[in-house]
Amino acid sequence: MKTKSDQRHLNMTKINFVMLINGGPIGIYSRIDSYQRLGQRRLATICVVLFLGTLNTLAHAQANNVTLYGIADGGITYTNNQGGASSTQATSGGLGSSRWGLTGVENLGGGMSTIFKLESGFNLQTGQLLQNGRGFGRLAYVGLNSQWGTLTLGRQDDVMGDYLGAYSGSVQFSGPLGTHAGDLDNIFISYKLSNTVKYASPSLGGFSFGGLYGVGGVSGSVGTNQLWGMAAHYAGGPFSASAVYHHINDPTVTYFDGAATASSNTPFSNPVNNPIYLGYSSAASLDAFGVGAGLTIGASTIGVNLTSTQFNRVVKTATTPRGGASPSITSVEVAYSARIIAAAVVGISYAYTHADAAKYSQVTLGTQYFLSKRTRLYAEAAWQHASGIDSTGRAAVADLTTVSASSSGNQIAARVGISVRF
């Protein structure tokens, strides 16, 4: 039989045992283990959240990509005759205009994405904007890309350059110095086109096509400043070929980027300074057709192109004296380039231009040496010979693209430079 004293002792023992468990080593170790398990669960939860967040960020970055890019191109050009005297000049864009831009893609799903590009041209030597001072004068467009092709709207490249450029020495190795007839046919895309809707198809069995339409935007006159073009292309193995056509109304403004179209017996500010076609720039419209083909054999590439530009109904002004005339300018070019070593390309081209009453022959040489994937050194030289009567009614003089006209029928220019892409 337990006494009250024994019962009190038993109760105290129970209390001490409970206190030992809760406050002593067993209780402490139990709580530490509990905290450790809770911390491990929280840490695992945090890791999972961070991992899922990282995946989401990567997926978003892949679906929504904006890239800053550009070209810095500068050099020195020597010309034997510009207006009767030799000249040495610092130049920009020897291989192509110095520029910077932004391009972006957003994945919409189902194989469709939105695209945009904003591109500004500038003179590396002076820092001035090109394309009449436009902020994004080279390119400014937005559009959709899918398995059905690409549709874009804005200020864009001409289909002439898109589909024929690959067959020209100017694109392959010599830059604008190698263009023929002042790049009137726009193979080097010297002239950008505003207010356009453009479509490029996917390749179907090697065949593709494209088109472009320029909205005039003048109230009450659908045809004013209107333009359109179409092109077809085939590529199979080492061979490719293209055919292109475009029609441009009011080329003074729409094509040559002048301030206003010409009117008879009124002052006219001519935006063209190349005498090969300066006298035709006031035409009511122009039509251009071109074909080209290329063949790659090992490290060598051969390109051939033929273009013909028809000016329709020249308006007579002080600088365009042949009022009512509809002259044409036709050029044919053969270009050859080869990668002689992994880091070097050399090329040569010959172009012949028949411009109504004048004739022009041109030989261009070019070489590029790649210091890296982004940086290259280049050297170019061109000779042009002119004969006959030019568009202004005077004796034809040579005028290589990007330098001023010679005072005679011959002109030689040589250029060296460096181009860096970023």
Burial label for 172, CB within 10 Å (0-12, 13-18, 19+), is buried
The pLDDT averaged over each successive group of 10 residues in the chain (422 residues) is 44 37 39 44 46 44 80 98 98 98 97 98 98 98 98 98 98 97 97 98 98 90 94 98 98 97 90 97 98 98 98 96 96 98 98 97 98 98 98 97 98 98 97
Please name every residue paired with 240 in a beta bridge, in sequence order, or none if there are none.
235, 294
- Segment 360-418, tens digit of pLDDT: 999 999 999 999 999 999 999 999 999 999 999 999 999 999 999 999 999 999 999 99
Pick from 172, 306, 325, 185: which is nearest to 241 by CA? Answer: 306
Which pLDDT does position 43 carry in this prediction?
45
Pick from 133, 288, 151: which is nearest to 213 by CA? Answer: 151
Domains of the chain: residue spans and CATH:
17-421 (2.40.160.10)
8 Å CB contact between 145 and 112: yes
Return the H-helix or E-strand segment holding 378.
Answer: strand 375-388
Give the integer Cα–Cα distance in Å for 151 and 114.
10
* Beta strand spans in 147-274 (E): 149-156, 193-200, 207-214, 227-236, 239-249
Which pLDDT does position 3 carry in this prediction?
44
8 Å CB contact between 141 and 154: yes
338-342 long-range contacts (CB < 8 A, ≥24 apart) are 338/299, 338/300, 338/301, 339/299, 340/299
Give the integer Cα–Cα distance in Å for 210 and 232.
6
Which pLDDT does position 219 carry in this prediction?
81
8 Å CB contact between 116 and 141: yes
Which pLDDT does position 42 carry in this prediction?
52
* SS3 assignment, position 346: strand
Give the integer Cα–Cα distance in Å for 113 and 110.
9
* Beta strand spans in 93-135 (E): 99-109, 112-121
Phi first, then psi: what are they for 83, rounded to 5°? 65, 25
**Strand 239-249 vs strand 283-297: parallel, antiparallel, or unpaired?**
antiparallel
Ramachandran sector of residue 221 (left: φ over 0; alpha: ψ -120 to 50; beta: rest): beta
Alpha carbons within 13 A on the beta-carbon side of 103 = 9
Return the H-helix or E-strand segment holding 411.
Answer: strand 410-421
- Segment 64-81, tens digit of pLDDT: 799 999 999 999 999 999
**DSSP string covering 290-344, please?**
EEEEEEEETTEEEEEEEEEEEEEEEPP-SS---TT---EEEEEEEEEEEEEETTE
The CA distances from residue 285 to 189, 291, 319, 329, in Å, are 19, 21, 17, 14
Burial annotation 136-171 (CB, 10 A radius, 16+ → b, else e): bbbbbbebebeeeebebebbbbbbbbbbbbbbbbbb
Alpha carbons within 13 A on the beta-carbon side of 240 = 21
Please name every residue paired with 71 in a beta bridge, in sequence order, or none if there are none.
99, 421
How distant is the alpha carbon of residue 96 from its chain centre?
A: 10
First and final CA of the chain: distance in angstroms? 99
Burial label for 182, CB within 10 Å (0-12, 13-18, 19+), is buried
Which pLDDT does position 221 carry in this prediction?
85
